[in-house]
Amino acid sequence: MAKIANNSSTGVPNHVAIIMDGNRRWAAKHGVGAIDGHRVAAEKTIKPIVEHAIKRGLGYLTFWAFSTENQKRDTYELQGLFKIFRDALKTNLLELAELGVRVKIIGNIDWFPEDIATLAKKIVEKTRDNKKITVSFALNYGGRDELLRAISRLLDKVQTHQRSAETPITEEEFSGYLDTAGIPDPDLIIRTGGDKRLSGYFPWQAVYAELYFTKTLWPDFNPKKLDLALANFAKRSRRFGKGKFTDYVKKATRLVTRG
């Protein structure tokens, strides 16, 4: 399990991961096509959130931009999404690079057309030494798919005699085979659009993440909405499964008293 390191003195999470949901509903609400909803989300929403995350002192920000389930979208929508990704990789992400953002890509990027995969890898390489904030984009990402690919990497190590099959595997080692290797587990997961589920987002990494669900559709999500999520997070007590002995004593005392 990757290290979790939120800033306890300010209540600001170190890593916020966002499920960007609601683009198509936003488009329908505004009487435009689904592709227009996706384009607004890519061109107008992400950069202000990144800039505000930097101001608030976040170390890591992850956007789930395309899931493995999205492969099932019709050809017209997929081609529209591919064009948006191309444009974003050529312009929007370069703007992030100028802000000092380190860009990372998680997911099976090689599923995309070769030019998109190549552009993505180039922006990752171009920004690898930037230190202002690490912004990851989950492209063709699915939690189960990530776990299967991690297991395949582990088995490959064994089959190529780089690792003994007899050596017990630890959580730390397994985390190193995930797409998020080197990235701390999310402290806070935000899902826009109103649905209250993770849909396979970070099944390994999210075990201690705080969850925040908002009805706001992703294209309408803005820095003020992010502040609401961060304020909610700051009020929560995170125990990571340990609990507080005094709390248990107080509960037991109340039960005995009531009895």
- Enumerate the known binding-site residues for substrate: 22-26, 38, 67-69, 73, 191, 197-199
Q: Which residues are catalytic?
A: 21, 70
Per-position DSSP letters for 49-94, written without gaps between them: HHHHHHHHT-SEEEEEEEEGGGGGS-HHHHHHHHHHHHHIIIIIHH
For residue 182, what are the CA distances in angstroms to 41, 45, 177, 196, 216? 28, 26, 10, 28, 31
Instruction: Identify the DSSP state of 237.
Output: P
Map residue 122 onto helix, strand or coil: helix
Separation of alpha carbons 168 and 257, rounded Å:
48
Binding site: which residues?
21-26, 38, 67-69, 73, 191, 197-199, 210
> Which DSSP state fits 96?
H
